[in-house]
Structures are given as structure tokens and as C-alpha cells.
A and B are shown apart, each in its own frame.
Chain A
Amino acid sequence: MARGKNDIKSFPGFLPMTILCLVILYAPLVVVTIYSLNDSNSITNWEGISFRWYADVFTGPESEKFKIAAWNSFTIAIIAATVSTTIATLAATAMVRGGRFRLRTVSFGLISLPLMVPEIVTAVATLIFFNSIGFTRGYLTILMAHIAFCIPFAYMPISARMQGIEDSYEQAAMDLYATKRQAFTKILMPLMLPGIISGYILAFIISLDDFIITNFVKGAGVETLPTAIFGSVKQGIKPNIMAISTMLLAVSIIMVTISYFVSKSDNTK
């Protein structure tokens, strides 16, 4: 009986299931994108294509609220990503280039803690913490919480990258009388750049998208884009919310795509 290797591997129905999986994952996003272009006051009836709801986001009655929320969201995301990426890079250097040591497993546990604790629990705990030390909730509390939970997301691609770089490059530099600091900044860091960029981008997106923790620690009056959107959606889905959601969706997809191609690029050859 003649049969190819693929014969064994392929099962009828698995391809349709995969297509179904992709349709489920993408259909809601595509539909919201299409309806954000709807030239109608209702979200149900289709009345042709227009960009009026995009204009409404920037000039409409809610534009002031969105502008402030966007400013908060983006500045917090930039600062949180920068700080957490720096912390994650240093930590990864100790973990991957620091030999064996006693606190290694504990350190790794601490770094991955935000991934293991359910988000709602982190949110409650952070709120309680700021309350117990008498810290007024606002922009600063959101920023500090974001820095903390972004660390593991920045750490993962950075440490994966560092695992993949042989230490012979740094050894060679030090054989040629480079100090350790020079070997770190002049050799390791440039080689690490793709990992660092992709870690930075992931941290940025995670911060930009966070709703649950932000919602708990934001305090009254301070809104980020997700909390502003949530507030609006509670009164019903409006067309301008679809437009602003589509823009945020586009930012995430563009950033992830950049991160994907950067992390694939290999500059060690």
C-alpha cells in the first residue's frame, strides 16, 4: 500500500477547523472596522461609507474627553515601556549572563508573578496597597502599576534573545582588553537590540491596552482610552466608539507586526 508521509499527518476536517478558528478570531474585528465606516447614527442600519465618526472622535462632543484619555494612555505607555524594558534588560543580563546563583529561581518567580496572579487580584491588591500607604490615586498610581506588570512582557523576548547569543562575542572583546562594561554596552547591547525593541513594543501594547488594573487604581477623574471606552460602552455601543476602537486596534496590529519582523531579524551573522 503506497502512502506518503503527509497521508498520516493530515486529518479530514482539520483544515476547515483551522479556517473556522481564524474566522472566529478575526470576524468581530473586521466587522467593527467595517461598521466604524458606517454613515449612520445607528449602529444597526448600513447607510454607506463615510469617515464622519472618525472626524467625530477628534472634533465631536466627546473629543475633549478622548484627547485627554489618549494623552494619558500614550504617555503612560511610553514611560512604562521605557522603564520596564530597562529593568527587564538588566534583570535578563543577570539571569542569562550571571552564572548559577541561589536566588535565581526566586527571581524568575518574582518576574513572572504578574503573569500568574489573576489580573483582577493584582488590581485589588494594588488598590489596597496605595490606599494603605495613603497614596492618592491618579496618573502616578496608574504609571507605577503599569511599570510593574509590563516587566514580564518585556523580559520574555529579551531573555529569549540573550539565550540565543553565544558569549564568544563578549569573550573576544574582553580578550582584546575591553572592560566588562564595554563588552556589555558595545557588544551585547547592539546584538540584543531586536529583543529589546520587541520587548519594548510588547510592554507598550500591554500598557496601552490594560483596562482592569487601570480601572482600579485610576482614581476619580483620570481616564485612559480603555477606561473612557468602557465608560461609554456601558451606555450602549455608539458609532464613535467603533471608530476609536478601530484606531486603537490598528495601533496594536501595526506595533505587533513591527515587533514580529524585528525579532525575526538576525543581526548576529
Chain B
Amino acid sequence: MAAGAASGGSAKSDTYAEARTWLLLPAWAVLGIFVLAPVLMMLVYSFLTKEFRGGVIWDFSFAAYDQFFCNRGLFGDEPCSIEWTYINIFWRSIWQAGAATLLSLVIGFPTAYFIATRPEKVRPIWVFLITIPYWVNLLIRTVSMKFMLRDQGPLNDFLISTGLIDTPIHIVNTNFAVQLGLFYSYLPFMVLPIYASVERYNFNLSEAAADLYASKWVTLRRILLPAVKPGVIAGCILVFVPSLGSFLAPDLLGGAKNFMIGSLIEEQFKGNAGNWPFGAAASMILLTMVLIILLIFARQQAKAEKGTG
């Protein structure tokens, strides 16, 4: 992603310059009111007092963050020691999202590379094939995955019929099922940016390395990989970030034991826990983490851009 892309590409002309305020006003209004203002309101709510069965009382309080980070004993009157329950849920989410990202990279990199080295005419068709599943309802895809992985599901039937296993492998309601679900949800996000950078890669460089007796794999590792690194990082972020806050895969494939951030937040608003300030605080912590990741990424991309340009 070029620095230009971060600001939405360059302006092509200034034909409608004097009308631009009016042209942008609807977008500013709708996004300001229904996305930006809600996020700010969420920040406010995270500092309010909870009301039972959902909602808030307008009294300023640190209780939500205190509950998140502090263990104050059975009666809540001890000094703060670190509370691990929620940190562990965040940690598990990072771990799960990381595993899904790695899985996507292992499958996605060869795929992206393969597509980028096809004749120019057929590349868009391959790319289209990879993107179609993304546009299919995430809920339906996750349900399909659950159907596939069930103990009596097609995957186990297939493995048993080939004689590889005798008894069904229990996959649903394990950590691995969640990783598979996340991997399946966001795999196209890994392929597309890597594809874009391999496509721009100048293969004469590999040619030159080969002329100097570098083996193919050395060329891949030492010449191609550094050149396409921005695409690889972009792909990893595009898989990792949505995986981190995902709700459907852990909820449908993970069961109660494999709780992730998304489920923790959902429970505060939809479930019986009903602690809105705490849900708002957990959301703020997740949002902060994501924004920090995106910021570091944007910095790096800008640096890489300066380096090559």
C-alpha cells in the first residue's frame, strides 16, 4: 500500500473544487453521527456505573477498568493485584488470531505467488475465484465449516472411508476448530495483498541471482521475500486484526471453553452478564490494540515507501 493509498490516492483534477464541502457533507454527517460519535460515546460509557440488566447510571466511575485489571479479593476490599481472567481471554484471542494468520500465510503465500506468475490474461479470473467466498455471508460460511467438521460430518466420513482413521476426530469445540474457522473466514485477505506485491516484483532480479548461481529457494528467500515483505505484512494484518475481535468463529466453532474477546464483549450486552460499562471498556481496550497495530503498520509502510522511492 503506497503512501498515496493511505490518503485515498491523489486528486485527479479540481473541476468540482468549489462544491467539495457540499459533496462531502453527507458522508461527514452520516459517518460522524453513526460511527465516530458512537465510538466517543462508548468511551464515555466505559467510565460510567453499571445498571443491572443492561444500561448505565450516569455516575463517573473507574469500576469497569478496575474490574478488568484488578483482582480485589472475594469481598472487593483488598488492594489491587493483577486480575488474570480477562487478560487471559485477550491473550488467548491474540494466540488464536496469530495461529490463524500463520495458517493463512502458509496456504496463502504459495497461492498468491502462483496466481501472480500466471499469464496476465488469466490472473483476474484466479483473483476472482479467491475473492468470491469472501462475499458469501460470514455466518453461512462459519455454519458450513461447522457442518464440515462435525464428528459425523463429511470431513470425518471422508477420512474414515479412506482408512486414514477409524474413529472420528473430534474437532468442533476445540481451539483448533476456532483457528480453522478464522483462517477460513479471512484467507482471501492474505492472498490479495501478497498477490499484488508479487505481481509488481521484477523477476529480472531473480534471473540475475540465478545467473550468479543462487539456487531457486535461496533466490526466493533472499531476493523475492524482502521485496514482497510489505505485501506479506499487509496480508498478516488484514487476517490478524479481524480475527482478534471476531465473534462468530469462536461462538459457533469454539463452544464455551474457547472464549475470545468478541464473545466476552457480546455477553456484556446480549447475554446475562449485562455489564455495559465493562463491555464498553473491553471494546475500548480492543480498539486501542487494533489502532496501535494499524499505526505501526502505517509508519512502516511509509518508511518502506521512502526507502524505495
A124 to B275, CA, bound (A): 12
The answer, yes or no, to whether B143 is at the interface (CB within 8 Å) is: yes
The answer, yes or no, to whether B287 is at the interface (CB within 8 Å) is: yes
- Chain B, interface size category, equals 35 or more
Q: Using Cβ atoms and an 8 Å threshold, which residues of chain A touch B107?
A: 17, 20-21, 24
The answer, yes or no, to whether B242 is at the interface (CB within 8 Å) is: yes
Q: What 1/0 flags go to A118-144 for Cβ under 8 Å of B?
A: 111110111111011000000000001
Report whether B252 and A233 are in contact in the complex, using a CB–CB cutoff of 8 Å. yes
**In the complex, residue of chain B having the shortest beta-carbon distance to the beta carbon of A130:** B38
Q: Using Cβ atoms and an 8 Å threshold, which residues of chain A touch B136?
A: 29, 209, 249, 252-253
- Chain B, 130-157, CB within 8 A of any chain A CB: 130-133, 135-141, 143-148, 152, 154
A58 to B157, CA, bound (A): 31
Q: Using Cβ atoms and an 8 Å threshold, which residues of chain A touch B20?
A: 94, 98-99, 101
Which of B59-67, B159-167, B276-284 touches A?
Answer: B276-284
Partner of B147 from the list A43, A99, A121, A211 (CB cut-off 8 Å) is A43
A116 to B55, CA, bound (A): 26
Q: Using Cβ atoms and an 8 Å threshold, which residues of chain B touch A118?
A: 241-242, 244-245, 286-287, 290
Report whether B245 and A167 are in contact in the complex, using a CB–CB cutoff of 8 Å. no
**In the complex, residue of chain A having the shortest beta-carbon distance to the beta carbon of B108:** A21
The answer, yes or no, to whether B84 is at the interface (CB within 8 Å) is: no
Q: What 1/0 flags go to A99-125 for Cβ under 8 Å of B?
A: 111011101101111101111111011
- Chain A, interface size category, equals 35 or more
**In the complex, residue of chain A having the shortest beta-carbon distance to the beta carbon of B266:** A120
With known contacts A97-B11, A124-B279, A162-B12, A26–B207 Cβ distance under 8 A? no
A180 to B246, CA, bound (A): 46
Q: What 1/0 flags go to B267-294 for Cβ under 8 Å of A?
A: 0011000001001100100110011001
Partner of A180 from the list B15, B210, B216 (CB cut-off 8 Å) is B15
Report whether B117 and A96 are in contact in the complex, using a CB–CB cutoff of 8 Å. no
- Chain A, 179-223, CB within 8 A of any chain B CB: 180, 183-184, 202, 205, 208-209, 211-212, 215-216
Task: Give min CB distance, B128 to chain A, whole Å.
Answer: 6
Report whether A111 and B8 are in contact in the complex, using a CB–CB cutoff of 8 Å. yes
The answer, yes or no, to whether A268 is at the interface (CB within 8 Å) is: no
A26 to B131, CA, bound (A): 11
A147 to B32, CA, bound (A): 12
A28 to B247, CA, bound (A): 19
A90 to B280, CA, bound (A): 34
Report whether A229 and B31 are in contact in the complex, using a CB–CB cutoff of 8 Å. no
A209 to B27, CA, bound (A): 22
A108 to B241, CA, bound (A): 20
Q: Which 4 A-B pairs have the closest CB atoms?
A: A99-B14, A118-B245, A28-B144, A129-B38
Measuring CB to CB, which residues of chain B are less than 8 angstroms from any residue of chain A? 6-9, 11-17, 19-21, 23-24, 26-28, 30-39, 41-42, 44-45, 55, 107-108, 110-111, 113-115, 117, 124, 128-133, 135-141, 143-148, 152, 154, 184, 187-188, 191, 203, 206-207, 210, 216-217, 219-220, 241-242, 244-248, 252, 261-262, 265-266, 269-270, 276, 279-280, 283, 286-287, 290-291, 294
Query: What are 8 contact pairs spanning A and B, CB under 8 A?
Result: A11-B113, A11-B217, A21-B187, A120-B245, A124-B279, A125-B39, A128-B41, A230-B139
Told that A110-B36, A148-B34 touch, could you supply 9 new A-B pairs with CB distance under 8 A?
A: A6-B117, A21-B130, A28-B147, A98-B23, A107-B27, A122-B35, A125-B38, A180-B16, A212-B248
